[in-house]
Amino acid sequence: MQFYLAPMEGITGYIYRNAYRDFFGDIDKYFTPFIAATSHKGLKSRELRDVLPENNEGIEVVPQILTNNATDFITTVDKLKQFGYKEVNLNLGCPSGTVVSKFKGSGFLAKREMLDEFLAEIFDRCDIKISLKTRLGKDSPDEFYELINIFNKYPMEELIIHPRVQKDYYKNTPNMAVFADAMKLSTNRVCYNGNIFKKDDYDKLVSDYKELDRVMIGRGIIGNPKLVNDIKTGDYTLDKDTLRSFHDRVFGDYYELLQDQRSVVFKMKEMWFYMGAMFEDADKYLKKIRKANTRGDYEAAVNQIFRELTLNPANGFYFG
C-alpha cells in the first residue's frame, strides 16, 4: 500500500511536510496545497517557497495546480519542470465558492465538454506525469458516470477520488457505492481519499477493496501524525515528548519564516483544530489556544495541555 499526504491549504506546506518527514516519515508522496496557475512568468512567493528544491530535500513532492485554462496549466508545468518536478496533480475538488464560481476545482466538473478539451490539450502538450484529484461531481454523484468516460480517455498517473460532491464540502460521509463503481470503471489506477481517521477505517476500506493499493489521507494525519504508523503496525502509542518536539519544530520553523507572532499562532491554531482531539477532556484547554493572539498566551496554553492532559491518539479526530 502506498500512503499519500493530502494537500491541505494553510497546513501541509513545506514546513509541516519537512517536520512530518523527520518525525514520522512514512509517506510515499506529499501533495502540495494548490498553486493557482496564471500566465505570469513567476510563482507567488508562498507557492515558490513551497516547491523550491532546497525546501523539499529528499521528499517525494507532487505539486498541485488549480486552473481551467490549459495554457496557464502548461506555463505552470514549465516553471515546475525547471525545479526538476516530473509529476503534477490537477485539482478538480476544491469546493470553495470563489473557486467554484469561476468553474475551477470541483466547479470544473460541471463543465464537462470544456474539461474534456482542457484534458486533451494538457495531455497532448505536457511531457510530465499528470494525476487528477477529483470529487464525484459538482451537484450530484451521478455526474461521475459521465466524468469517468472523460477521464478514461487520458493516460494519467493516477486518479485520486474523494467521493463527495462540491456541496458536501468536507461533511457527510463519502459515497462508497459510487466509489465501488469507480474502481470497476476506471482504466487508470485509482487512489482513495476521504475520512480515514483511524486504523479501523483503513482496515475496512482495504477489506472492501482488495485491489486498492494507494490511499491519500489529510485530516486524519493532522489529527494524529502517527496515524500511518498506527495503520502499518497496530501500535497506537504516541508519547507526549515526540508530539511536543514535533509541535515545537513546526512552531519554530513558522516563526523563523513569518517573524510575526500573530501569524504563527494563527497557523498553529489550524493544526490544533485537528490535533486537539487526541488529548482527553481538552475542551477548556483548546479554548485557550483558540483565544491566544500572542506567543506568550499561546505557549502558556500549549504548555498546560502537554503538562496536564493525557494523550490518547485512539480518541483521535473524527468527522462526518
Q: Which residues of the chain form contacts with ligand FMN (CB under 6 A)?
A: 6-11, 33-34, 64, 91, 93-94, 133, 162, 170, 193-196, 217-220
Our CB check for ligand FMN shows the closer of 244 and 269 to be 269
Nearer to ligand FMN, 110 or 309 (CB): 110
- Whose cell is 469517468? That residue is 148
Q: What is the C-alpha to C-alpha distance for residues 6 and 101, in angstroms, rounded to an integer?
A: 23
Closest to ligand FMN by CB, 171 vs 210, is 171
Q: How far is the CB of 65 from ligand FMN (least distance, A)?
A: 10
Looking at residue 7, what DSSP letter applies? P
Tell me how far CA of residue 135 lies from CA of 68, 101, 103, in angstroms: 15, 16, 14
Question: Least separation, in Å, of the C-beta of 179 and ligand FMN?
Answer: 13
Which residue, 96 or 245, has its beta carbon nearer to ligand FMN? 96
DSSP assignments along 190-213, one per residue: EEEES---SHHHHHHHHHH-TT--
User: Residue 279, SS3?
Assistant: strand
The distance of closest approach from Cβ of residue 251 to ligand FMN in the complex, given in angstroms and rounded to an integer, is 19
Copy the grid coordinates of residue 238: 504516541
The minimum distance between CB 180 and ligand FMN, in angstroms, equals 18
C-beta closer to ligand FMN: residue 217 or 265: 217
User: Buried b vs exposed e over 25-40: b needs ≥16 C-beta within 10 Å?
Assistant: ebbebbbbbbbebeee
Angle between helices 283-291 and 261-275 (to 10 degrees): 160
Instruction: Give the nearer residue to ligand FMN in terms of CB position, either 35 or 292.
Output: 35
Nearer to ligand FMN, 173 or 310 (CB): 173
Q: What is the nearest approach in angstroms of ligand FMN to the Cβ of residue 176?
A: 13
Least Å distance between CB 175 and ligand FMN?
A: 13
Which residues, in sequence order, are CB contacts of 33 under 8 Å at separation 6+? 7, 8, 9, 10, 11, 12, 13, 50, 64
Nearest approach, Cβ of residue 69 and ligand FMN (Å): 18
For ligand FMN, the closer of residues 7 and 107 by Cβ is 7
| Residue with the shortest CB distance to ligand FMN | 218
Least CB distance to ligand FMN at residue 4 (A): 10
Which residues lie closer than 8 Å to 296 by C-beta, 6 or more apart?
none
Q: How far apart are CA 34 and CA 47, in angstroms?
A: 8
Please give, one letter per residue, the 3-state secondary structure of 123-158: HHHCCCEEEEEECCECCCCCHHHHHHHHHCCCCCCC
